Amino acid sequence: MTSLIKTTVLGFITFFFITSVHAQSLSEQDRAQIMALKKTALSSNLAYEIDESLTTEVGPRRVGTPGDKLGIDWAVAKMKQLGFDKVWTEDVTHYAWHRGTAEARILAPYPQKMVAIALGGSVGTPKTGLSAEVVEFADFAALKAAAPGSLDGKIAYVSYRMERKINGAGYGPAVRTRGAGPSVAASKGALALIIRSVGTDNNRIGHTGGLHYKDGIAKIPAAALSNPDADLLSNQIRRGKPVKVFLKLTAERRDDTPVITHNVIGEVTGRTHPDEYVVMGAHLDSWDVGTGAVDDGIGVSISLAAAHYIASLPERPKRTIRVILFAAEEVGLVGAEEYVRKHEDDMVNHIIGAEWDFGTGRIYEMTPGVGPSALNAIRELAGLLAPLGVSLSPKNTAKGQSDMSALGNKGMPAINFEPDGMAYFDYHHTENDTLDKVDAEALKQNTAVYVIYSYFAAQSGVDFRK
């Protein structure tokens, strides 16, 4: 609380300082409009209600599943219901993958069941499963350092423990094994890879997430153990006797079978500059195990709610508000890359973009990635956001988060809004990603930030590239 007050006071000081020395981008009337929008966002449950609707009426939305299709229909209908002026979908193609079931057991020295989950995209084991001795590695570097052939006939096991950090910085070092580990293990001769879950919780629930097989290397099955089961396995290994594990994944990967999904795009059309887009992004797909309430139901909900508040004003802002709900993010930003391909020619009309794909929590910082002349406008925006507890990062390096990075890498200016991510990796990519994890009060702050950002960028006419 104390630090919030400090931040707020500092914010006001910054704000008054800025406004005294620079021309403002917004008129007093626009500024009053923003205050009214903020008040609406802070007093409404709309974003939570949208997420409740998505998770109750649709549920899991993994690319290529019936839930994915249902989610797309839901999003189109919801955008229309919320007063968007235009709503359409754009095709995205991916390949088929079936999760099946995962079974893991320690066979020796002390037989016990373990909770495991297939990594996304993993091939299955032989139909009857496989049994092999386990070799433990402390981290990805240790696995990479294993001698070729040293894992022949073995199961590689990486027990690296992800660290909990407010900005999610523990994810990078941990996720390396999930993505690249299967091919590295295969290159040493391993029959399969199992990893400690990339997650910060201690639940008997595994964390899934995409893997990336390297061309020319055998595709081996890969699964994540729940963290308590990883503890158990390491405790048995520590006793010094050979540890043998049974693993059975009935997953099926069908690289040659395309599945079609869709980006869903909705616009609140600009009054004077309809072809200039202020973008809010989120991904509509989710993993198949939870209901995707957090990842990325929250991004979907706050974007839709913020756009709805603007669509409900008597007058449209100058520029268009474009909400892009990306398909197939979880399998590698596939929808975002398709969007960029399709919109290459009008990428220059994407004035600025922000994506929310980092769970539930209050936004405490914003990092811009804009041209040097636009920094004054960013400071003006920061002044408006400071009373909400959002501080301005001294960096100007943002390329857009998650899907939005595909657009950022094509030159679109971006703002990254950073929420408190301490709890995010407790639920990330698990069955536990459900509505009860959503912080309804934080959602109001998130939506207030989004509506201020988008109205500011749409109404001010600032060129964020300059």
Report the alpha-carbon distance of residue 385 to residue 38 in Å, rounded: 10
Q: Please select the residue that binds its own copies; options are 122, 208, 227, 391, rule is CB under 8 A.
A: 227
State both tokens at 241: 């006797």
Q: How far is CA 273 from CA 372, 418, 457, in A?
A: 23, 29, 12
Per CB under 8 A, contacts with its own copies among 426-465 are: 430-432, 434-437
Asked whether position 56 contacts its own copies by CB under 8 A, the answer is: yes
List for the chain the helix, strand, coil content (%; round to 5). Answer: 40, 25, 40
Beta partners for residue 131, in sequence order: 246
Contacts with its own copies, 133-172, as mask; x by CB under 8 A: ----------------------------------------
Q: Please select the residue that binds its own copies; options are 11, 290, 400, 419, rule is CB under 8 A.
A: 290
Size of the site for its own copies (CB under 8 A): 31
Q: Please state the closest distance from residue 46 (CB atom) to its own copies, in A.
A: 17
3-state secondary structure of 395: coil
Closest CB to its own copies among residues 56, 272? 56
Q: Please state the closest distance from residue 78 (CB atom) to its own copies, in A.
A: 15
Q: Please state the closest distance from residue 237 (CB atom) to its own copies, in A.
A: 10
Report the alpha-carbon distance of residue 110 to residue 126 in Å, rounded: 24
Closest CB to its own copies among residues 318, 437? 437
Q: Which stretch binds its own copies (CB under 8 A): 54-62, 142-150, 269-277, 344-352?
A: 54-62
Q: Which DSSP string do the residues of 290-357 spell out, in sequence order?
A: S--TTTTHHHHHHHHHHHHHHHTSSS--SEEEEEEEESS-TTTSHHHHHHHHHTGGGGGGEEEEEE--
Q: Which stretch binds its own copies (CB under 8 A): 2-10, 37-45, 208-216, 225-233?
A: 225-233
Q: Which helix (H) or strand (E) holds 27?
A: none
Report the alpha-carbon distance of residue 32 to residue 368 in Å, rounded: 24
Asked whether position 228 contacts its own copies by CB under 8 A, the answer is: yes
Asked whether position 272 contacts its own copies by CB under 8 A, the answer is: no
| 290 contacts 428 by C-beta, under 8 angstroms | no
Report the alpha-carbon distance of residue 293 to residue 271 in Å, rounded: 33
Closest CB to its own copies among residues 156, 205? 205
Q: Please select the residue that binds its own copies; options are 183, 236, 301, 445, rule is CB under 8 A.
A: 236
Closest CB to its own copies among residues 43, 56? 56
Asked whether position 81 contacts its own copies by CB under 8 A, the answer is: no
In the DSSP assignment, the letter for residue 286 is -
Q: Which DSSP string do the residues of 100-148 spell out, in sequence order?
A: --EEEEEEESS-EEE-EEEPBTPPP--TT-EEEEEEEESSHHHHHHSPT
Q: Please state the closest distance from residue 231 (CB atom) to its own copies, in A.
A: 6
Asked whether position 204 contacts its own copies by CB under 8 A, the answer is: yes
Asked whether position 71 contacts its own copies by CB under 8 A, the answer is: no
By C-alpha distance, which of 464, 168, 106 is closest to 295? 168
Asked whether position 242 contacts its own copies by CB under 8 A, the answer is: no
Asked whether position 59 contacts its own copies by CB under 8 A, the answer is: yes
State both tokens at 302: 């706050």
- Interface with its own copies by CB under 8 A: which residues? 52, 55-60, 110, 112-113, 115, 202-205, 227-228, 231-232, 235-236, 239, 290-291, 430-432, 434-437
